Structures are given as structure tokens and as C-alpha cells.
Amino acid sequence: MKRALTLLGLVACLSAGAQPQASAVSPPSPSAAPARAAGMPGAQQFTLRNGMQLIVQPDRRAPTAVHMVWVRVGAMDEVDGTSGVAHVLEHMMFKGSKAVPPGEFSRRVAALGGLENAFTSWDYTGYYQQIPAARLEDVMKLEADRFAHNQWPDAEFKKEIEVVKEERRMRTEDQPRALLMEQLYAASFIASPYHRPIVGWMSDLDAMTPEDVRQFHRQWYVPGNAVVVVAGDVDVSRVRAWAEKYYGSIPARAVPARKPRTEPAQRGLRRIDVKAPAEQSYVALAFHVPRIRSVDAMTGEDRDALSLLVLSAVLSGYDGARLERALAQGAQRVADSADSSASVLGRGPGLFLLTGVPAAGKTAQDVEQALRAEVARVARDGVDPAELERVKTQWMASNVYERDSLQNQAQQLGSYWVLGMPLDAEERLLAQLRGVTPDQVRAVAAKYFGDDALTIATLRPQPMTGQPRPRPAPAAGGVLH
């Protein structure tokens, strides 16, 4: 499968950016000038009177608009015993307010000619509608209402928690590789909340109460912890007036303090086996690596994280990249597929993954050794400048194509806001990436791939028995990304 070499695609895996501190919100000066982005022409950022942020990106090529609300809260802000509550709240946000009965929100958006959904990650929760630009005010009013006044009877929670449990079964427990990745993260991280799954542990979902969800909403859904992002055929001053009317009137409250929960240095290789019904084995190697903390004053670790992004692209960022050529092609191939990823953009620690599926007659250990050998080859021999230039050229082209999509424009602006980065963060990072040298890629390949920072998870296939369980129809509303 051809891979899109874009930073936005990586932001879905988030891992850089400063954590916000608790603070009282002060109304901005009426004369405060909006922030402007060099990399996203026309994008402007404002602070509403209650501290909520607004980002507007005009794009008049079609009479449509995308409206998003991003809340800087996700699974990493949960505490033990309530894992999954951020995602459950995302589902319950579709269940009404005092003014909008359960199920009515989605019906009203559809009646406006719109599409809508939501998503949860470790680092954030987001809600969006894609609508005719003329109906933007209507969805802003609806979204502001449920942000401030989410309300539903216990009976709605009891039904929806079963939907979330089934989602966990379908997407994790019945998917051997997803189950392995859940176990890999749990083993790789000790103090970091990234060790908990976004969907939550089943026992926590079983024990979750309506009050757990309501309390999470009261705690984190405050104006100073959220941003409204609008992209499309819109007038900036009109959008700002609507935002002040519907969102700015929500009472200001302090953003709760966040504890650092710093991941301690790993002190030796960790290895786990995961047994599950499957047809093929699978192996995943996770290395602790630095994350990008700033695009303004980059440290050595920031530059290393950028170089690791480039290394991942060299290994598997395009058709026929190094891992595919070395492991999955030819008569002596050891893998049916092999891949890499560098999750270095997000609020939590970074992780570099190497994964592979053994070919017929080969073992997971064969693939493990071959994956590490390719990284060692880069550390020993480096990369050809032409190979590096190909990766950079594809990155730049993909970034241009992405801007054709209103959804991608809004997604990019919201994602970087979550990380505490400026509107033009993508442009700044791309400029930094253009300067990454072969020597820098070689250096990180030699620096970060030893045993002491490594966790290896191997899927041990078990017999496939029984018939698949019947599945209920999917529920409207939240989606876990």
C-alpha cells in the first residue's frame, strides 16, 4: 500500500508539545490582534472572552465549511480505575443536553445537510461537522450547547457503555494484532498513561458509572482547554462574532493541573508473548525515542526526533522502500510485510515501531532479526542523499495535496493546537525536515536502537476455532481513532 508522507498523518499518533498549566482565565484586550499563520495562508487565531480559542481558515473554493471542537484531554488524562472514560464521554456527548434530547443532535446536523462524527486519542478528543457554509451558525450553536450542557439520563449511559464494550471486543479482543499492540504499549510504558488503552480495560468499563463520565466532563470540558476550528467558505469577522455569542458566553473556569507522570528510563530488554487465535505470527519492536517538544527553539532531542521521522520514511515510507525490498521481496524473503513508524508528535513520550509478518517457513525471530539488521545497516552505511531527497520531495508534495481538503486543513490546525504549537507549525517542521542530513539519519539509527530501550511483542498463533459472534448494528456517534 502506498503511504502518504505527511506530518498530519503522524499527528494521529501524537507525541510533542508543552502541557498546559492550571490558570485563571482573563478576558483578552478588545484591541488584541489575531495571530496569523505563515504556513496556512489566511488562518487567524483569537481568544474568546472566556479563554476558549478560535482558529478560522477561510477557503472559498466551495460553499462548504468544516467546524471542529478540539478538547485538550484524552486517555492520558484518565486515572487508574476509569480507563476509557474520555472515549465513553465522547459517545455520551451525542446523547443530548437540556435543550436537545438524546439522538436529536445527529438528526439536526443531518437535516442541515451535514455529516458529523468524533474521535478520541491519548492526547485529545475532537468533534466535527462538515456542512454547507450557510448553516455554520446552526452547528456552532448546537456544538456549544452540548459542550457546556451535556446531559443525559442514566438509562442512556447503560445502553451506550455496552456499545463501547462491544467496540472493544470488535477492535481489540477479536483482532490479534490489535491485542498485541495493546499489550506492547502496556509493557513499554510504566509511569506514562500511554500504558492504558484508549478504549479502556474491560474491567474498568464494567465498573464505570454515569457519575464517572459526568465528573470527567465537568473537570476537563472548560473553555480554556478547548479550541474551535473553522475552515471553509466563511467570513472571519462573522465566525468570530458567532463564536463569542455561542462559545464565549460559557462561564470561564480554570484548567485542572496536570501531573507530569514522567516515564523512567528503561533498563533492559523486555519481551512478551501474546497468544491469540490467528493464522500468522506477528512481531512488533518498540524503542523509546525522544519527542518533538518545540518548533521554535529546537534542542538536540527535537532534531533527533525529526531525524527519526525521516529514518522511518526511508525504511517504509513509500512503495519499494528499504524494509519491503530487504524483507518482503525475492526468493529469500523472510516477511510477507514489514513496516515502521515514528510516533514523536504528542503530549506523551515517543516510540519508534518496527513490525513484520513472517513469510511461509520463516519465524517471528527471523523477522525480528531482519528488521534490526536493516536499522543496523543504516547506522553502518548511512543513506544515499538521493534516497533522502526522494523522501523529502514526497513529503512536500503530499503536504500541498493535503491542503486541498478542508477536513485536513482543520485537522492540522487543531492537532498542532493540542500540542501547544503555533498555526504554522507544519510549515516550520517541514522546513526543519528539509534540512535533515544523511549523517543525522545515520546518527539516530546508531543511537536509539539498542536493547536497553526495547520491548518486543510476538504473536503466537493459536488454533482458529468456533464461529464469529454475531455483531449488532453500529451505533451512531463516537468513533475511536
Amino acid, res. 224: G
CB 119 within 8 A of CB 477: no
Residues in CB range of 147: below 8 A, 6 or more apart:
69, 221, 226, 247, 250
C-alpha cell recorded at residue 94? 451525542
Selected catalytic residue, list 78, 90, 182, 263: 90
Cα separation, 225 vs 28, in Å, equals 16
- Is 90 among the catalytic positions? yes
Place of cell 513472517: 358
| Helix ranges (DSSP H) in 382-449 | 385-402, 406-418, 425-434, 438-447
Contacts of 107 (CB under 8 A, 6+ apart): none
The Cα–Cα gap between 231 and 247 comes to 17
Distance of CA 274 to the CA centre of its chain: 25
Burial class (CB in 10 A: 0-12, 13-18, 19+), 295: buried
Q: CA-to-CA distance for 117 and 108, rounded, in angstroms?
A: 13
Which residues share a beta bridge with 170? Answer: none
Residues 211-226, buried b or exposed e (16+ Cβ, 10 A)?
A: ebbbebbeebbbbbbb
Determine contact, residues 57/443, Cβ cutoff 8 Å: no
- Active-site residue list: 90
